[in-house]
Amino acid sequence: MSLIAWQGLRLTVPARWSPVKIEGDYAAGYVLLADLHRPRLGLRWGTLRKRKMDVAAVVRKRMLEEVGRLAADEATPLNVSEGWTGGTLYIEPEPPGRDVWIGYSPRSKRVVELIHHAHRRERMLEGSILPTLQDSSENEPIRWSIFDLSCSVDGALPLDRQRLNAGDLSLSFGDAKRSVFVRQIAVAELALQRQPLEKWLQDQQRVQRKQYRAVGKIEPAELSLGGRAAAGFVGRLRRRRRFAFMRWIAAEFVTYALHDRERDRIVIVQATDDKLARRTCESIGWAADLVEKS
């Protein structure tokens, strides 16, 4: 099994299912998971803006849109945990077809839909996927896990871009004042044959070199990555004087490049302050440990 955590939603799925389509933000979006043969699971969410509403009516309307009136009449109530209300499940009686669950989370004020493309009668949606579904609000740290990159970031810092290439994964978060960038490169043993770890850090700093200058030398550093000791380097950048009037950009950046030997990964974290960078580093790799323990 593997854990998918995206925009505050978390669930466990078979390891052979991988994200092939990702859209939207915390308020509304969609993730499609597929294996080598076909689409397997769709995860859709949307925020309800009204203060007063009939959750059952909203869920009923969404179910009608997904499966039609006759099938919606056969749907049964199913709340996966105390954190969900209005949960409704429809199971396709004669697969192949779609099993659909729709529920509302008061925690994030979002309606969440799970659509399992069932090829045979597995009852996987209600048996193994729904019991793992969790939600987080924007007022708490949000955990992210996609492929084998996982980290935890302050919910006030929205995801602004992602790059999910094979062996090179990165997520970037930020608002008007703070930002944090997380990159993971695999396999570290091969990547370090191309260039040393210090050079990987310099390559990351080069992105900001037009507006920032290096402060001091790159120094050795040792941090905890999800409870695992990791050695590497740290470098700092400060905004150049001629850009001092640009108060809307960060005054400085700190960049860590670390070798996670246990997971054989290079981890690069760049943030607008050292505390944010260290907190992010401490959370990296949490999903792999959680799945292994389970």
Q: Give the count of beta carbons closer than 10 Å to the beta carbon of residue 157.
A: 21
Comparing CA positions, the residue from 155, 62, 149, 69 lying closest to residue 108 is 155
For the chain, percent of residues with pLDDT exceeding 70: 98
Whether the Cβ atoms of residue 2 and residue 288 lie closer than 8 Å to each other: no
Higher pLDDT, 191 or 287: 191
> 13-66, pLDDT tens digit by residue?
999 999 999 999 999 999 999 999 999 999 999 998 877 788 899 999 999 999
Give the pLDDT band of residue 241 (cuts 50, 70, 90): confident
Q: Does residue 211 surpass a pLDDT of 50?
A: yes
Distance CA 105, CA 246 (A): 40
Q: Is the dihedral of CA 79, 85, 88, 89 positive or negative?
A: negative
The token pair that represents 251 in the structure block: 């005054």
Q: Does residue 293 surpass a pLDDT of 60?
A: no
174-201 burial by CB neighbour count: b if 16+ within 10 A, else e? beeeebbbbbbbbebeebeeeeebeebb
Residues 6+ apart with CB under 8 A from 186: 148, 167, 168, 264, 265, 266
Give the pLDDT band of residue 294 (cuts 50, 70, 90): very low
Mean pLDDT of 184-208: 95
Distance CA 281, CA 279 (A): 5
Q: Does residue 289 surpass a pLDDT of 80?
A: no
Give the pLDDT band of residue 290 (cuts 50, 70, 90): low
Residue 124: its pLDDT value, please? Answer: 87
Comparing CA positions, the residue from 169, 170, 152, 146 lying closest to residue 160 is 170
Mean pLDDT of 186-191: 94
Mean pLDDT of 161-181: 93
> 77-91, pLDDT tens digit by residue?
988 877 899 999 999
Is the previous residue joined to 100 through a cis bond, with omega within 30 degrees of 0?
A: no
Q: Does residue 141 surpass a pLDDT of 90?
A: yes
Residue 165: its pLDDT value, please? Answer: 93
Give the pLDDT band of residue 249 (cuts 50, 70, 90): confident
Own/partner pairs for 200-207, CB < 8 Å, 24+ apart?
200/257, 200/266, 200/268, 201/232, 201/233, 201/234, 201/235, 201/255, 201/256, 201/257, 201/268, 202/235, 204/255, 204/257, 204/268, 204/270, 205/235, 205/237, 205/253, 205/255, 205/270
**Domains delineated in the chain:** 2-135 (3.40.1000), 142-293 (2.60.120)
Give the pLDDT band of residue 93 (cuts 50, 70, 90): confident
Whether the Cβ atoms of residue 279 and residue 224 lie closer than 8 Å to each other: no
Q: What one-character DSSP code corresponds to residue 212?
A: E
